[in-house]
Structure 1
């Protein structure tokens, strides 16, 4: 009889159990990613209806569109503390539940309730945003590129889905736009359930891998990331922030730009949906390429050029070029977001460092991003048109490219360390 080696597992997990664990992890990530931008896309397609229904002025509309983005910046700073105290999956579960509650509150009549629900949902998204790259690192350490691409694609497409589906969905519920907004709580609730199931199933393994109270150094979300130079850290932060500024400026105003040009609400929503769907291509492809390359500078410049070409097209082609311009902007946005997320893992050596970098980049980045919708709205009010706001938005592509070139240069850590993570087969 063969003797068992001391410390050797008495039994190996069954193939069916391994498959179920992996399938549950993938399903949870899908539900998680889809839920992260539904709130933004659904509101952007009904700005006129919300404004008329509650008789809002320009400042109040700005609160609705940019308030959640500010929450993304402020709320991101608490994610590392929560992840240290609890598990990353547990915190992600609660953040999805908070998002579901905030989204559901939009059904209740009243402008203050709508604003509170929107800001509450924004805080839930803020924490979840920071944990996204960390969950990918912990659950799929050997598939970081592919799973980052999947997560990014879902984030990108969810806003477009909500923007395109919300107007007809609202008509299906007797033109009650409040119900049309509130129904998007359902996907967030399903995401909370999926994340809770994964938390229960993998709590023991994730406590060893995720930043936790035992053996995890205390890392301030604004402190320098261990092993990462300030130049690289600020480049990744700048790249994350400026690409987010582009994304939220288009979410907030692109449908409105085309509605002001005479396009109906359904078509304007579909234009934005095309932008979001086209972003899937680069969201899926760029992280896979980035994970296989030592330098990501060419990728960074390429996605910036695509986005810049799309913005210039929106400026110069009117309604005739709406569809191809939406595709170009979408390709640029999807690639830029996915590259920003994957760089947070490629440039750090542990889950602790990845959490700290993700938190600091998103805290500063989303506060910067919040200026985009506000600035575009202010420039539109001052000039009475969309030419100057679009020119200003196009001008931000130059610093985005610079940040991408610096962040794409190989740093001290250009591969994630799988030994710190618990893989899901």
Structure 2
């Protein structure tokens, strides 16, 4: 069923606590300094939600050699946190409703620091346990952040969303570019370089503590449930668009540094190139949604960004090395724009905020589980062939699938789902 498209400017950001109304109220009587500290804390939390992905990627050859990890084990290591994003994201709304977003966020930060530290114990088992724990925390943090921004910065939601999106990219870029130099600075300590990323998380937990202390208990609210979403074709097209473009993104996070190193670049240069590409993603994240909402629909921009991302990956695989910076920038434009428009499409295809929250949950749950296949297959292809060249076929197929679903998900219609009040 085709329904009228909601005004993009009036659609609320997706909220982990959006299944119940009235929405949670912002902290009362908060001083300008307190509000500033809250904003900085959210941005720094976002920064800490990405180093787990790119820090291990920067050291994959050293991890394989130092810990004796097989090609399949390496593939699982790069895939595990993405699987956790899908498996654990549905827990976030329930935890937020039961304990409050502030308390859950503090637990997320502390357990993220613990998981990151466990990765530095020079043990294969602890490497995987720490990665799984960190991935679960990142999944919950991903869902909580937009809700806290919506609640506490309703007048500056767009600015704050842009800031924390850039911080996500900055965290990934920092870990990609600094982990290998950090390992060299620590005298070749592989464990130390991986565990060092726990320190920023511990620091921001101290900054976040006042938010937990100042939290008020919330009254029980009327519940809502959403029906019809899982059988709606548009919802599945949005979900597949999210999942397939995410698969491309996590192939980049997990394998682009090893791809460039195999082509002959040293580890520091490869990390710097990926770091620069991810920073370009941050800029693209800010620009792409504004372009997307100004058109009649999002079909063309979805397909164009898919083409940018895939063509750039092919260039990074096969083009002369002197052109690698150009392809890295193009990849950043395409990939950063894709994640931004995928999130924008979730909101635009939803007739109300409750359905947007559930569509977001569906897209993240199914989409991230689908996205986990990408980096796993890259590792398996490399293990079978001894080269990354055949990964080009995978990248083209993922991009083609994302473009097809992005075309249909970009149509100016909303999902055929309903919000029903429950006692």
User: Shorter-normalised TM-score: what interval?
Assistant: 0.7 to 0.9
Cα separation, 2, equivalents of 1:28 and 1:326: 30
What is the CA deviation profile of residues 116-155 of structure 1, one whole-angstrom value per residue up to 9, with x for unaligned ones? 1111101101111222333333334454444333332222
Cα separation, 2, equivalents of 1:47 and 1:339: 31
Q: Is the 8 A contact 1:167 1:265 kept in 2?
A: yes
Equivalent residues in 2 for 1:206-355, closer than 5 Å = 207=218, 213-217=220-224, 224-225=228-229, 230-290=232-292, 295-348=297-350, 352-355=354-357
Residues 94 and 320 of structure 1: is their aligned pair in 2 closer, same or farther, counting only changes over 3 Å? same
Residue 267 of structure 1: how far off its partner (Å): 0.9
Q: Is the 8 A contact 1:109 1:178 kept in 2?
A: yes
Cα separation, 2, equivalents of 1:133 and 1:298: 27
> Is 1:179–2:192 an aligned residue pair?
yes
Q: Is the 8 A contact 1:133 1:344 kept in 2?
A: no
Residue 27 of structure 1: how far off its partner (Å): 1.0
Cα separation, 1, equivalents of 2:34 and 2:352: 23
Moved more, 124-133 or 142-151: 142-151
TM-score, length of structure 1 as denominator length? 0.83
Q: Is the 8 A contact 1:79 1:131 kept in 2?
A: yes
Equivalent residues in 2 for 1:407-418, closer than 5 Å = 407-412=409-414
Cα separation, 2, equivalents of 1:104 and 1:23: 29
Residues 114 and 380 of structure 1: is their aligned pair in 2 closer, same or farther, counting only changes over 3 Å? closer
Cα separation, 2, equivalents of 1:185 and 1:335: 29
SS in 1 for 2:119: helix
Cα separation, 2, equivalents of 1:166 and 1:378: 25
Residue 217 of structure 1: how far off its partner (Å): 2.7
Q: Is the 8 A contact 2:112 2:134 kept in 1?
A: yes
Cα separation, 2, equivalents of 1:294 and 1:410: 7
Residue 190 of structure 1: how far off its partner (Å): 3.0
The aligned counterpart of 1:197 is: 210
Structure 2: 5+ residue stretches without partners: 1-27, 416-423
Residues 293 and 200 of structure 1: is their aligned pair in 2 closer, same or farther, counting only changes over 3 Å? farther
Q: Is the 8 A contact 1:31 1:190 kept in 2?
A: no
Residues 324 and 248 of structure 1: is their aligned pair in 2 closer, same or farther, counting only changes over 3 Å? same
Residues 281 and 269 of structure 1: is their aligned pair in 2 closer, same or farther, counting only changes over 3 Å? same
Residue 25 of structure 1: how far off its partner (Å): 3.3
Residues 80 and 152 of structure 1: is their aligned pair in 2 closer, same or farther, counting only changes over 3 Å? same
> Is 1:107–2:114 an aligned residue pair?
no
Residue 395 of structure 1: how far off its partner (Å): 2.5
Cα separation, 1, equivalents of 2:359 and 2:34: 28
Structure 1: 5+ residue stretches without partners: 1-12, 414-425
Q: Is the 8 A contact 2:75 2:377 kept in 1?
A: no
Cα separation, 2, equivalents of 1:63 and 1:37: 18
Cα separation, 2, equivalents of 1:299 and 1:251: 23
TM-score, length of structure 2 as denominator length? 0.84
- Say how many residue pairs are matched: 388
Cα separation, 1, equivalents of 2:216 and 2:409: 34
The aligned counterpart of 2:66 is: 53
Residues 180 and 358 of structure 1: is their aligned pair in 2 closer, same or farther, counting only changes over 3 Å? same
CA RMSD in angstroms comes to 2.5
SS in 2 for 1:409: coil
Q: Is the 8 A contact 1:238 1:365 kept in 2?
A: yes
